[in-house]
Amino acid sequence: MKTFGCQMNVYDSERMSEALAAEGYVETSEPAEADLAILNTCHIREKAAEKVYSDLGRLRDIKRERARDGKETLITVAGCVAQAEGDEIVRRAPVVDLVLGPQSYHRLPELLARMRRGETSIVETAFPDEDKFQALPDRRPPRAVSAFLTVQEGCDKFCTFCVVPYTRGMEYSRPVAALVAEARRLVERGVREITLLGQNVNGYHGDGPDGAPTALAGLIRHLAEIEGLSRIRYTTSHPRDMSDDLIQAHRDEEKLMPYLHLPFQAGADRVLAAMNRKHTAGEYLDLIGRIREARPDIALSTDIIVGFPGESDADFEETLKLVEEARFAHAFSFKYSPRPGTPAATMDEQVPEDVKRERLARLQDTIDAGYRRFNGQFVGQTLPVLLEKTGRYEGQLVGRSPYLQLVHADADPARVGEIVEVEIRSAGANSLSGVICGSA
Ligand code: 5AD
Ligand code: SF4
């Protein structure tokens, strides 16, 4: 199983592994050993989508070699490229036995049986009526103290650059009761932190325990009641769905971590309008002002695109200005990549590649300076850190601060899963390190 792209795919890969484990499959990281290879793919930018075809080339060679030894190799393309390209994949790469859209993962065992009977080129990309989450088997022991939980899928926002509304479909929210049950099982197995996932997670509106629609803040409050669960996070949010109720939850709900990923995409209102973002730069700044009023220490992160069609030098300066003003703790930045079928792909005034590259480099310098500023302020302070795993050096553990910073500290590996107080001694762009001075 190879997973590309976002955390939703990571979660889906885990659930598929569980379904396959029930069928007797064991995971391997060695492609040549695999009776079944699954590529769980991402379609968000061209580079991500093209990686799949180079991997399929390698798998084709492996399949041939294994066939010489009399071994069968079944090849599956899952995820967003599967959903977006469907039949096109088997046409371009006939080596593929199964193309499996993200809404059909629960059908994997049945489809495997069909492949073992010799069927090839199966394309399964419909949006079935049944709920894949309910149909997937129960979760196995998690491998980590921090786990993902998909609560919402799909997006109805239709930003003009984005394929998500086409690959993941309309918004769908899982019911509160099913999520609380899944979260409880995770906690029983040692998970202390859960990150709620959704393409538009703060648009969550699942059925509550009493049948009434429940928003994300309501779901968080239900989850916060679970004893043993210490930390709750959620991602990714749209500024338009950042309700007052959710902002209040950041003030009142102790288990909700002070971190928020809130993409703004571009700083110029003209570009934001062409992106169909439904917010202006001013509205975004006003919103983060209100969030900081509720939770002054909150760490904000964001996504930014440079070189959207029609973006002028002056428009790009607005993006840099917004980055400075917003004081982000973290930011992901991308060159605009035209995606087939989206409105922006055919807009006039596509920006040349070298201009995009130059803007991205300037933006990343500004962002990096922000990381250093953000991390630097913690030197000398003490932070509660959830110890997650062993570090690169002997005797060292790595954990996360409430602000999602990686923190290194020397500790016994038996302490993984504990939340400890760490006095921060030094800060780099990508991590902090310090000394444990107590339990939190
Ligand atoms: N080109 C570049 N970046 C994109 N993103 C989404 N679509 C595109 C595209 N066509 C970025 C957005 C989004 C993040 C997940 O990926 O910034 O928030
Ligand atoms: Fe894509 Fe996010 Fe816009 Fe939805 S809100 S269309 S997922 S960028």
What digits encode the pLDDT tens for the residues 15-24? 899 889 888 9
CATH class for the region spanning 2-124: alpha beta
CATH of domain 132-376: 3.80.30.20
Residue with tokens 């538009």: 200
The whole-chain average pLDDT of the chain stands at 94
Q: From the CA of 238, give the closest atom in ligand 2.
A: 5
Q: What's the 303 CA to ligand 1 centre distance in angstroms?
A: 8
165 lines ligand 1 (CB under 6 A): no
Q: Classify the phi-psi angles of 131: left when phi > 0, otherwise alpha if psi is within -120 to 50, otherwise beta.
A: beta
Instruction: Please report which confidence band the pLDDT of residue 132 belongs to, taking 50, 70 and 90 as the band edges.
Output: confident
73 lines ligand 1 (CB under 6 A): no
Q: Which amino acid is at 422?
A: V
Return the number of other C-beta atoms located less than 10 Å from residue 6's C-beta: 19
Q: What is the CA radius of gyration of the chain?
A: 23
C-alpha of residue 278 to centroid of ligand 1, in Å: 16
Residue 346 has pLDDT above 70, yes or no: yes
Checking phi first, is residue 169 left (phi over 0); if not, alpha (psi -120 to 50) or beta? left
Q: Residues 227-284: pLDDT tens digits?
A: 999 999 999 999 999 999 999 999 999 999 999 999 999 999 999 999 999 999 999 9
pTM of the predicted protein model? 0.93
Q: Which stretches within 117-195 are classed as H helix? A: 132-135, 164-167, 176-188
309-337 in b/e burial notation, b at 16+ Cβ within 10 A? bbbeeebbebbbebbeebebbbbebbbbb
If you measure from the C-alpha of residue 339 to the centroid of ligand 1, how many angstroms do you get, rounded to a whole number?
A: 10
Give 415-433 pLDDT, tens digit per residue.
999 999 999 999 998 899 9
CB of 391 shorter than 6 A to ligand 1: no
Pocket test for ligand 2, best of 9, 43, 152, 164 (most atoms within 8 A of CB): 164
- The residue whose C-alpha atom lies closest to atom 3 belonging to ligand 2 is 159
Choose which residue among 7, 160, 334, 342 to substitute to test ligand 1 binding: the one with the highest number of ligand atoms within 8 A of its C-beta. 334
What ranges do the domains of the chain cover?
2-124, 132-376, 382-436
For the chain, how many helices (H) and strands (E)?
A: 14, 20
pLDDT of 143 > 70? The answer is: no
- Widest Cα–Cα separation across the chain: 66
Distance 327 CA to ligand 2 centre (A): 23
> Distance between CA 205 and CA 107 in Å, rounded?
26
Query: 356 CB under 6 A from ligand 1?
Result: no
Kindly state the helix (H) or strand (E) to which residue 77 belongs, with its residue range.
strand 74-78
* pLDDT at 141 (0 to 100): 56
Q: Which ligand is nearest to the CA of 44?
A: 1
pLDDT in tens, 402-415: 999 999 999 999 99
C-alpha of residue 199 to centroid of ligand 1, in Å: 12
pLDDT beyond 60 at 139? no
Which of 41-55, 70-84, 333-347 is the least confident region?
A: 41-55
CA–CA separation, 158 and 368 (whole Å): 30
Q: pLDDT at position 131, please?
A: 77
Ligand 1 within 6 A of CB of 371: no
Please work out whether the CB of residue 165 comes within 6 Å of at least one atom of ligand 2. yes
| Atom 1 of ligand 2, residue of closest alpha carbon | 162
Q: How confident is the model at residue 67 (pLDDT cuts 50, 70, 90)?
A: very high
Q: Which ligand is the nearest neighbour of the Cα of 275?
A: 2
* Residue 177 scores a pLDDT above 70: yes
Mutational test site, ligand 1, from 305, 336, 347, 364, max ligand atoms within 8 Å of CB: 305
Is the confidence at residue 97, as pLDDT, over 60?
yes
Q: Which of 157, 168, 337 to mutate to test the pocket of ligand 2 (most atoms within 8 A of CB)?
A: 157
Instruction: State how far the alpha carbon of 399 is from the alpha carbons of 232, 275, 379, 439, in Å.
Output: 15, 37, 16, 14
Supply φ then ψ for residue 415, to 5 degrees: -85, 0
Place of tokens 């060292």: 396
238 in contact with ligand 2, CB cutoff 6 A? yes
Please say whether the structural domain 382-436 has been given the CATH code 2.40.50.140.
Answer: yes
